[in-house]
Amino acid sequence: MNFLDTANAYGPRTVNQLIAAALHPYTAGLIIGNKVGADRGPDRSWLSGASPGQLRRARAMTPIAAVQNRYNLLDRSGVEVLADCEAHGIAFVPYWPLAFGQLAEHEEPQAPACRLGATDAQVALAWLLRRSPVVVAIPGTSSVEHLRSNVAAGALAPRLTDDEVTALTALTDESAAALDRPAQSTLDALNDLAVRTASA
């Protein structure tokens, strides 16, 4: 594991301070991706990600190392740029890789999880890593046990069969996916987040 995904908005700033306190001076090869410029739409919507057109415009201005779009077993809405990322060697960083934790107990990945003696969360991450060679997984956790389990999903990825990867990919239709059409799982998670933020 050599990549940390963070943002000025997390805390705000607290997470970056914690990372520095824990890891500075940084070891060679550690990459810290720090998102900036987070903003909400005029209708208070939470929009985040890049469409193919935005990626094209950005690439015309500067080299792009990575795109972070919403993408997981339940919500494929960020997939539109995946082919472009593959074509141009750009990392595709799916955010909410565990659908905000919903995939930890989701029933769909059960079969491969049973065969491999793995958890549903591990299968969801292993599938992402098999989905494309440019995928970089960023599962979030507050638990050391889950962290170990999530890191172990990397070794699980090559053990998924091609048929299992195809079946997992086919669980959700990607053909009409678009960033502005979030899946119900994402809307549920955002509602949950809004409730928790309001009561904090």
Ligand X SMILES: NC(=O)c1ccc[n+]([C@@H]2O[C@H](COP(=O)([O-])OP(=O)(O)OC[C@H]3O[C@@H](n4cnc5c(N)ncnc54)[C@H](OP(=O)(O)O)[C@@H]3O)[C@@H](O)[C@H]2O)c1
Query: Residues in the site for ligand X, rule: CB under 6 A?
Result: 5, 48, 68, 95-101, 104, 119, 121, 138-143, 146, 149-150
Contact 96, 70 (CB under 8 A): yes
Is 6 exposed, middle or buried (CB count within 10 Å of its CB: 0-12, 13-18, 19+)? Answer: middle
Q: Which helix (H) or strand (E) holds 3?
A: strand 3-7
- To ligand X, the closest distance from the beta carbon of 151 in angstroms equals 10
- Shorter beta-carbon distance to ligand X: residue 106 or 130: 106
- To ligand X, the closest distance from the beta carbon of 23 in angstroms equals 15
- Shorter beta-carbon distance to ligand X: residue 100 or 127: 100
Q: Using CA atoms, how far apart are residues 157 and 161, in angstroms rounded to an integer?
A: 9
* Cβ-based neighbours of 79, under 8 Å, separated by 6 or more: 69, 71, 174, 177
- To ligand X, the closest distance from the beta carbon of 99 in angstroms equals 6
- To ligand X, the closest distance from the beta carbon of 186 in angstroms equals 9
- Shorter beta-carbon distance to ligand X: residue 96 or 127: 96
**What is the 8-class DSSP label of residue 32?**
E
- Shorter beta-carbon distance to ligand X: residue 64 or 95: 95
